[in-house]
Amino acid sequence: MVIMDKNTVKEAIKNLKENSKKRSFKQTFDLIINLKGLNMKKSEQHIEIYTQLHYSKGKPVKICAFIGPELREEAAKVCDTAIFVDDFPKFQADKKLIKKLASEHSFFIAQANIMPKVAQVFGKVLGTRGKMPNPKAGCVVPPKTSLQPLYERLQQTIKLKAKVQPVIKCTVGAEDQNEEEVIDNIITTYNSVIHNLPGEQNNIKNVLLKLTMSTPVEVK
């Protein structure tokens, strides 16, 4: 059983920083939660949750919106990329464009009344990458809505999933970020996971923390 508290996490971060090489770029803190006692062949034991953190993950999250005329102006103003429904045929004709979108954006928003078209054109690529606009994350929106609150919320949202292997991996902060924020993000993520496991902490094998290019350290 892994008990997660502030001092435990603080010690893990200290060990990580002391034993990791300095890099020429800003590294992220990546959390790895290894699970046990779950049968990944049973869909009801799969994990797929969206967790709202109290702080950012240390770097901006890029968001793309699929929109109709009602949200065209709003999406262009708020989102990093806005794709109008009339432009869908261009993407349908060239899957490389969709793959580029998928690699460049963390979340996709869609106007609810054009979701069937979004699924038809983008579903095959985004679906296999787990990036289709998801109502659980609030990413399927009415034709008339303010996107700014959703955009800001997604900056602090992480997707936690385990469907094939019993392991959850996610980014929880950056090395130049306030350490208290990173600690809070780690504890928030861990608590969210255990509350969605049938045996809660008894389904946790171990918890590891690493920087982008470092070897992991165990959060003991």
Residue 21 falls in which region: left (phi positive, over 0), alpha (psi -120 to 50) or beta: beta
Cα-Cα end-to-end distance for the chain: 10
Residue 171 to residue 178: CA distance in whole angstroms: 15
Helix (H) or strand (E) holding 111, with range, is strand 107-111
Dump pLDDT digits (tens) for 41-85.
Answer: 998 899 999 999 999 998 899 999 999 999 999 999 999 999 999
For CATH 3.30.190.20, list the domain ranges present in the chain.
Answer: 6-58+156-215
Architecture of the domain delimited by 63-154: 3-Layer(aba) Sandwich (3.40)
Residue 101 to residue 94: CA distance in whole angstroms: 12
For CATH 3.40.50.790, list the domain ranges present in the chain.
Answer: 63-154
Q: What is the pTM of this model?
A: 0.88
Residue 92 to residue 15: CA distance in whole angstroms: 49
Q: What is the CATH number of domain 6-58+156-215?
A: 3.30.190.20
Cβ atoms of 29 and 209 closer than 8 Å: yes
Residue 44 to residue 134: CA distance in whole angstroms: 18
Dump pLDDT digits (tens) for 149-186.
Answer: 999 999 999 999 999 999 999 999 999 999 999 999 99
